[in-house]
Amino acid sequence: MKYKKFDKLITEMSGENASNDYWYDVGVNDAMALIEEFSETDWELLEKNIIDKSLEWQKRVVYCFEEENDARKINIILLLIETTDKELFEVCIDSLRFLIKDNNKDCIINNIELMEKLRKMESINNMSGRICREFLNKLQ
């Protein structure tokens, strides 16, 4: 079961003594390699447990979800996107930009609350606004 190894790695990488440099240089690649080997049971465990994890843990996981159109990743991000934490929201939107394709963008477009939040944020003149604008353009 790869989930246990993944959970241990992300927990170590999101703790107080964790180095951001090490995470971005090595940890993220190790985590992505473990995700590639996930079974359906591993995905179910991740989806079941992610809500109870720390914000930093959640951010690290979502950061690993890039450049592959996978409904399981999108579902996990949609669980987290309702967050009030600005940074987690930005990481979720940024990852969705890579995961959303023509065949699955309806799950976002039909989420009225999320679309309203995105439209409010797109007018902000900062990185969050830029990410939201790019994402909304991709949805059209």
* Top-confidence residue, 62 or 25: 62
Per DSSP, the residues of 106-122 read HHHHT-HHHHHHHHHHH
Break the chain into its structural domains and give their ranges. Answer: 1-64, 84-140
What tens digit of pLDDT does each residue of 62-108 get?
A: 999 876 667 889 889 888 988 889 889 889 988 888 888 777 788 78
Give the span between the Cα atoms of 24 and 29, in whole angstroms.
Answer: 8
Q: Among the ranges 41-50, 116-125, 130-139, which has the highest mean pLDDT value?
A: 41-50
Using an 8 Å Cβ cutoff, are 139 and 109 in contact? yes
The pLDDT mean for the chain works out to: 87
Fill in the DSSP letter of residue 18: -
Give the span between the Cα atoms of 86 and 96, in whole angstroms.
Answer: 15
pTM: 0.83
Both tokens assigned to 58: 């959640």
Give the span between the Cα atoms of 47 and 77, in whole angstroms.
Answer: 9
* Top-confidence residue, 41 or 138: 41
Fill in the DSSP letter of residue 50: G
Give the span between the Cα atoms of 64 and 67, in whole angstroms.
Answer: 9
Closest CA to 23 of 52, 59, 55, 77: 59
